[in-house]
Amino acid sequence: MSFVADLDPQALWQHFDRILQIPRASKNEEAMRRYVLSVAERHGLETRRDKAGNVVVVKPGTTGHESGPATVLQGHLDMVQEKNSDVAFDFSRDAIRPQRVGDYLTADGTTLGSDNGIGVAAMLALMEVDPEADDLAHGPLELLFTIDEETGLTGAAQLADDMLTGKRLVNLDSEEEGAVYVGCAGGLTVEISLPLEPAPVEGGATALEVKVGGFRGGHSGVDIHLQRGNAVQLLARALDAARTRAGAGSFRLASFAGGSAHNAIPREAAAVLVCADRDREAVADALQGEFAAIASEYRPVEPDARIEVAGTKAPGTAWDAAATARALGLVTALPHGVQAMSYDIPGLVETSCTVATASGASGRIEILVSVRSSTDSAKRALARKVASIARLAGAEAKEEGDYPGWKPNMGSELLRVVKQVQARELGSDPEVKAIHAGLETGIIGEKYPGMDMISFGPQIEFPHSPDERVRIPSVERFWRLLVATLEELA
């Protein structure tokens, strides 16, 4: 065990320390699922599994509270796997390396997985509570561990309709201490495919590899209002502007790639381009100059943004000048960032768009665009706009992974209880909020009509990026709020 296991509350942190050692990529959560089942088996707890791989662990109420109504606690097993390009790390086998920086726990150059590892660790700790203990009382619990949340909420979407009996649910996947969430955005992904016929590279041509990096990235819902740079779009912007500056036919693209997850703001992107040897210096200078202007524009939020331009081996093929212009024009034309703010909740982003990933070489470029909105009609309209831009460029576009939002219920009995408990236990009134991100509550609520739901969690900052960190003291307060809420419900 590492130093993490000695933090308070130890029951929670010991499980999180173990979670750090378990590979848990989206769609590959089997090792994490086995760990959950092993803890359940060790304590003789009933389990349910559906065809998708979701797991429910049934925990009877403690002595004197066995017959009350069940409460569902829910979290997801997978994590976003992001790392800095200069960090040697294999998420399929390497244990995440935790580091303590003041009051924060972070990881060495990778995502930490506190999203949603802290919530899962809390559920595992509750599984080990002695049913006859006097220090923690709770009614019957159904602990729902879902899979594949981070790549489209597909675990919740495939949740069997006979897994839960409880009619109140506490989601443990929020990331702002002191806030209780009662609503979330819905979303979908627009998949774009632009065919681009490759052409041979003439003998004597030279090639340049262009990389941009140092961007902060982050969660494309939670952090979209921070106006951070999108490495994919800004590389395309620099390349497109350099074409004008150095001459429209000065270079051709051979490849273009950036971003790694549909729900993260891209931090890095790279391209290979070919040009005549006589144009090499002019193209390199144009790129450096255009990116310098971009870096100056974004300096307040992206102080470490950088570009690298270096010679590389010339590929055998590259897109012709017209195809290069179409590819760059499409990437730069797609909307990115906040599109509308909520009329109902001050400060809440209602609708946003993220150019999440791009990958192109040889015969086509593939682009994923993430669309989010708490208003279904606005979500649909923005998705149609993205698809229209794609089709005007000659690309194909289709919608995938559509999931519903979660409409707030300000009359929720569960909300009333949590507000009362937080005021008593922590001495503060929670801020009742909605979040501009997809939570599984929207889908679960649609599958189980009438489910009373809230969401809360510790302070987790910069999720989905290597800057991810969790504030250690907030985890203890999160645990106190959770335990006291369950005692009140019992």
CA 80 from chain centre, in angstroms, equals 6
* Exposure class string for 284-319: b at 16+ Cβ within 10 A, else e: bebbeebbeebbeebeeebeebebebeeeebbebbb
Tokens found for residue 252: 């051709």
Residues forming the active site: 78, 149
Q: Are the C-beta atoms of residues 113 and 121 closer than 8 Å to each other?
A: no
Q: What is the pLDDT of residue 135?
A: 81
Q: What is the pLDDT of residue 435?
A: 87
Span 183-203, pLDDT tens digits: 999 999 999 999 998 999 988
Q: What is the pLDDT of residue 256?
A: 97
Strands (E), 172-251: 179-184, 186-195, 198-200, 206-213
Q: What is the pLDDT of residue 29?
A: 97
Q: What is the pLDDT of residue 197?
A: 87
What residues contact residue 350 under an 8 Å CB cut-off, 6+ apart? 185, 339, 340, 341, 342, 343, 373, 374, 375, 378, 436
**DSSP alpha helices (H): ranges in 302-412?**
321-333, 376-392
Span 251-278, pLDDT tens digits: 999 999 999 888 899 999 999 999 999 9
Amino acid at 426: L
Q: What is the pLDDT of residue 76?
A: 98
Q: What is the mean pLDDT of residues 406-420?
A: 93
Q: What is the pLDDT of residue 214?
A: 95
Question: What length is written for the chain?
Answer: 490
Span 31-48, pLDDT tens digits: 999 999 999 999 999 999
Q: What is the pLDDT of residue 66?
A: 92
**DSSP alpha helices (H): ranges in 211-299?**
231-246, 280-298
- Read off the pLDDT band of 245 (50, 70, 90): confident
Q: What is the mean pLDDT of residues 465-490?
A: 96
Domains, the chain, in order of start with CATH, read: 3-185+405-489 (3.40.630.10), 187-403 (3.30.70.360)
Q: Give the whole-angstrom CA distance, residue 455 versus residue 434.
A: 10
| 3 state SS of 369 | strand
Q: Give the whole-angstrom CA distance, residue 222 versus residue 439.
A: 11
> Considering only CA atoms, which of 458, 479, 478 is closest in space to residue 468?
458
Q: For 315, what's the count of Cα atoms within 13 Å in the CB-facing half-sphere?
A: 18
Q: Which helix (H) or strand (E) holds 260?
A: none
Reported pTM: 0.76
Q: What is the pLDDT of residue 13?
A: 98
Q: Are the C-beta atoms of residues 328 and 243 closer than 8 Å to each other?
A: yes
Q: Kind of pairing, strands 469-471 and 179-184?
A: unpaired
Would you give the DSSP letter of residue 83? B
Per the model's pLDDT, the better-predicted residue between 343 and 169 turns out to be: 169
Is the pLDDT at 387 greater than 80? The verdict is yes
Strand partners, 57: 47, 143
Q: How many CB atoms lie within 10 A of CB 251?
A: 31
Strand partners, 402: none
Q: What is the pLDDT of residue 319?
A: 95
